[in-house]
Amino acid sequence: MRRLAGSVATILLASLVIFVLIRLVGDPTHLMLPPEATDDDRALLRQELGLDRPMVVQYATFLFDLLRGDMGESFSYRQPALPLVISMLPPSLMLAGAAMLMAVALGVPWGLLAAYRPDGWADRTGRVFAVLGQSGPPFFVGLLLIRLLSVNWRLLPTSGYGDVTHLVMPAFALSWYSAAGLLRLTRASVTEALRSDYILTARIKGVSDRAVLLRHALRNAALPIITFTSSQFGILLGSAVSIEAVFAWPGFGKLIVDAISQLDYTVVQAGVVVAAVLFIAINLCTDILCAALDPRIRLGS
Amino acid sequence: MTLHRRDLNRLLLAGGAAAALPGVARAAGETPVAGGTLNWAYYPDPSAIIAINTSSGTGQAIGPKVNEGLLWYDYDLNPQPLLATAWTISADGLRYTFHLRAGVKWHDGRDFTSEDVAFTIFRLQQAHPRGRITYQNVIAVNTPDPLTAVIVLSKPAPYLITALGSSESPIVPKHVYETFKPEEQPKLEQTIGTGPFILKEWVPGSHLLFVRNPNYWDAPKPYLDRIILRVILDPAARAAALETGEIDIGANPVPLADVARLKANPKLIVDTTTYAYSGPQQQLFFNLENEVLQNRNVRLAVAHALDLQKLVNVALFGYGDVSPSPVSVALPKWYDPSIKAYPFDPKLAQSLLDEAGYRRGADGVRFRVRLARNPFLPSSYSDFVRQSLAAVGIGAQIINVELSTYLKIVYTDRAWDLTIESLSNTFDPSLGVQRAYWSKNFKVGLVFSNASKYSNPEVDALLEAAAIEPDEAKRRALWYRFQAIIHHDLPGVDLVAAGAQIVASKRVHNFAPGAEGINYSFRDIWLSPAV
């Protein structure tokens, strides 16, 4: 219950901050109306959009409408803002989800191998990858991929939203950074676990290397990995903006960035509220998962 | 390869040139092939589709595929029949009679009639930002029969005959558009016209899908089965898509620095024609409220400090022309070719500044100015001007901001001294040029108006006379006189006409048959079968 109240407060705070900030940036009617428009035209439009009223009144109206699930109409698309934002979620979630799966599939086993044989080949290549991954910006990786895989080798389409061939490059480019982070984290956590007493006990009991690594070390190292992964999901959704632009992927991030530059208040507000709800939901899932994995973490205890 | 379309036409007229220009010129001799999908790269993400109540670039580019105008224009802006088959203008310039094409249907099957024309003209007069000026003198549109429309004016409006293109005055169906308010955009299913393509699907941020109109009045056109407009915001992604052939055509798809690379690609054609309908022109305006700049010799010094050909070469990578008069060189009907740019002469500039009493200080600077730039233009413009000014001892601080802030600084706060503007001349100087020099158009808060606060009664009189002079030769004389005065008075330095580029696959033929360039209907486009 306390958690729910906290979530609602977070959403309200986020909406209030963005509500005020975007209104400080500028007057959208300058961008919406053509250059030839007069001051009267602008005043009329402000009135039509409700921007002539005091900000407190505007915010109260916004909250009231929010309760009914109405977040106003997009200034630039002339469509209801909330459905517009929600319609952009599936491509974004698909991209972030695929990127996260790739990051886990790449980072965790690699990190595990690196921890198992320090200074072995997996560890050495892993170190190179970790540096490259954490220093190479995703959009740059994306551009290199387009150059190589699309323009030179003609294996994949350069950009766009369609079937799985369109998903491979943006998801990989996006996963790059997180995969490197996961690799390092997995290696560190598993290395630490391997040094602990219970591993020694297990080994003395004659448990196989494989079982030690997977059943004991990885399970105990899993908590930070899961927490990290879930926090990455938010970052992936956010940093997808540049990837969405490079690959012409019709996503949530691009919509919001465009809306900010267009001063499309309603879409920005709807986007922030939806993002806040999403993040809170993901955090909740993470906590439940952690509690299920680790009996030491239980709500209320 | 690159060439100007106008040159190409001349070459073709000369005869025998087709063989010398494989790839493109061949198109003229070949029979069009029906079928295929045209992939069109577009940015920004379109908001308005039809330019009926907006002058947005997206509406002008996309709308003509769906809605046609009464006329289209050849490269020299001469009107040609489209929805109107013939027209007459009364000797006093007050009655325009249009005979409309018979048998034209809207996409929903209803007949196109003179009622639609009358409705559209008044809708443009009411809701289109430039239409308000173009059609301000319209007092009636008579419809004596379904295929005749007569526009009746209170005063002559000589620019009207050039304003009837599909991108500027798209004819819309009365029976659909009267069901919603003038300022509203049509919904997808309401976006219907008489045009060669039917808008089928619109996914914001992703694409627009157009399909062939099987009942188009000019069969066998259009040749294409479909057009897919793909929104691709990243220039590198657009370049890659053009290089792989995923995209067939795009306007200004890549930064100027990358054009050379696409030119070298044997599968692509880079068309650098400046299409007259857009009348590009870039100006360096002086804020005449600044006391220093009120001195004409100071302004003259600035003019002599700028090497305009170098500006074209450096800032525009050569894609543009020096355009030294307030009327763009892109409008040969009105531009006075006797006006030449002030010669580049930094020495003269320095002595002019010395004589004006602005000697170099201890730091080598005579005085400082705030230099703004319309962010639509690349920053190389302001870098170039700043360096040129520094060479003669004027210290310029660049104001580098996004569009909404720029407009506020220049037109509302007026917190600037020099600004590099891009006030397009459009297709007629009364619509595109007058706004920057007419003293009655100095209004604080009105963007793209008389930024300099220039005021000259003689110029006002010339502008007002030119706007209602029906005789073309007399009107040209008025515009020539105007150009001479402005060139002397220097409320700004006229810089260049920045060229646009259309990059297309060599499979694409006839993408820009007239003055509207790519902002026309694509009815003539056909694709060579894939190789």
Q: Which residues of A touch B232 (CB under 8 A)?
A: 159, 248
Q: In the prediction, which pLDDT does B531 show?
A: 58
Q: In the prediction, which pLDDT does A44 show?
A: 80
- Res A297 pLDDT > 70: no
Name which of A30, A75, A78 to mutate to probe chain B: the one with the most chain B Cβ atoms within 10 A of its Cβ. Answer: A30
- The count of other CB atoms within 10 Å of the CB of residue B35 is 12
Tell me whether residues B205 and A76 touch, CB distance under 8 A.
no
CB contact set of B360 (below 8 Å; sequence gap of 6+): B366, B393
Q: In the prediction, which pLDDT does B29 show?
A: 54
- The count of other CB atoms within 10 Å of the CB of residue B280 is 25
Interface of B with A (CB under 8 A): 44-45, 47, 54-56, 129-130, 132-133, 184-185, 203-206, 230-234, 236-237, 240-241, 243-244, 246, 402-405, 407-408, 445-448
Tell me whether residues A158 and B237 touch, CB distance under 8 A.
yes
Q: How far is CA B143 from the centre of its chain?
A: 32
Instruction: Categorize the per-residue pLDDT at B4 as very low, low, confident or very high, splitting at 50, 70 and 90.
Output: low
Q: How far is B165 from chain A (nearest CA, A)?
A: 19
**Nearest Cα residue in chain B from A242:** B234
**Nearest Cα residue in chain A from B44:** A258
Q: How far is CA A44 from the centre of its chain?
A: 39
Give pLDDT tens digits for B290-343.
999 999 999 999 999 999 999 999 888 999 999 999 999 999 999 999 999 999
Tell me whether residues A76 and B47 touch, CB distance under 8 A.
yes
**Nearest Cα residue in chain A from B237:** A246
What tokens does B392 get?
């003669």
Element containing residue A66 per DSSP (H, E): helix A55-67
Tell me whether residues B448 and A35 touch, CB distance under 8 A.
yes
Instruction: Categorize the per-residue pLDDT at B7 as very low, low, confident or very high, splitting at 50, 70 and 90.
Output: low
Q: What is the ipTM of this complex?
A: 0.71
- Res A301 pLDDT > 50: no
Q: How far is A247 from chain B (nearest CA, A)?
A: 6
| Better-scored residue on pLDDT, B498 or B484 | B484
- Res B21 pLDDT > 60: no
Q: How far is Cα B457 from Cα B417, in angstroms, rounded to an integer?
A: 24
- Res A298 pLDDT > 70: no
Q: In the prediction, which pLDDT does A277 show?
A: 87
Residue closest to B389 by CA, chosen among B486, B286, B499, B487: B286
Q: Which residues of B touch A158 (CB under 8 A)?
A: 237, 240-241, 244, 246
| Better-scored residue on pLDDT, A91 or A2 | A91
| Better-scored residue on pLDDT, B165 or A59 | B165
Q: Any CB–CB contact under 8 A between A159 and chain B?
A: yes
Q: Which residues of B touch A27 (CB under 8 A)?
A: 404
A173, A208, B22, B432 from A219: Cα distances, Å: 28, 15, 68, 71
Mean pLDDT of A93-108: 91
